[in-house]
Amino acid sequence: MSNPAFEFVRQLGQDLAAGEFELPPFPDTAIRVQECINDPDSDIQKLAAVVATEPALAARLMRMANSAMMRRGPIEVTDINTAISRVGMDMVQNAAVSFAAREAFKAPPGSPCIDDLNTLRKYSVKVAAISYVIGKHCQFGGKPDEAMLAGLLHAVGKFYILMKATDHPELFSDRQSLDGLIAQWHTGVARAIVESWQFPETVAQGVDEQELKERDRIGAADLSDILFVANLLARAGVKAAAELGDLDALARLRTDSEHLSSMLEDNEEEIQSMIEALSG
């Protein structure tokens, strides 16, 4: 490991151990969306009023509501209240998280990590859309919306490390060291960020354990199983599902590669529509 990488890892380890991350603030609108959703006295009108204060978020929600995955019949949604009624409050939170991740991890012009961040954003929404479909069609104790949320948040550790690495620009000319430390640290960092942003423990555990390949095959599936499979398919393409073989994650999801491949093929248009909705 090069000296810059060693110094970076040393500082990252100290920050992680002490819980002293210099986290980007969660955008105010996204926080108010969370608070509104968690308020038992809230309703669609109150949530719509919050969403309306951020045009970019409102536009993203509208695209999600009119996507092939969420659309019901030929009628196009043109107002926020109807969009919320169509997708549900939990999906509004997902729209807010995808918006927030873009706002929270913005590199200044000329930053060496801009291309990496843009690539990672595209990859994250792909993982999120695939996770939603897996969560909807496989045996899983949580909700599909939560699977999408975990997919949207699964790479926040990578975002954080890339942003912090700009303090050591020489790392970007040593990709082997940079990629190695991202691989080593991103899941633990992701868990710390998800907990700091006060998302459910199930999501924090899911992002922390997303790369565990060997698991108790007869146990109940959780978000880490979905993320493990979704990551493989986001990298290789959904058509690679038939080649996944006998994975512990698939056994826990009570499916196999043949069934998964057929299910993803049936939902390919829906997956692509949600990727486009979240990417704007």
Give pLDDT, residue 4.
67
pTM check: above 0.85: yes
**280 residues of the chain, pLDDT tens digit each:** 556 667 777 777 777 777 666 776 777 888 889 889 888 888 899 999 999 999 989 999 999 999 988 887 788 888 999 999 999 888 898 888 888 888 888 888 888 889 999 999 999 999 999 999 999 999 898 899 999 999 999 999 999 889 888 877 777 888 888 888 899 889 988 998 898 888 899 999 999 999 999 999 998 999 999 999 999 999 998 889 999 989 999 999 999 999 999 999 999 999 999 998 888 6
Give pLDDT, residue 204.
95
In the chain, what are the domain boundaries? 3-17+111-279, 25-104
Give pLDDT, residue 2.
57
On whether the 3-17+111-279 domain is CATH 1.10.3210.10, my answer is yes
Which distant-in-sequence residues (6+ apart) come within 8 Å of 260 by Cβ? 134, 138, 229, 241, 242, 244, 250
Give pLDDT, residue 257.
93
Of 168, 31, 48, nearest in space to 100 by CA: 31
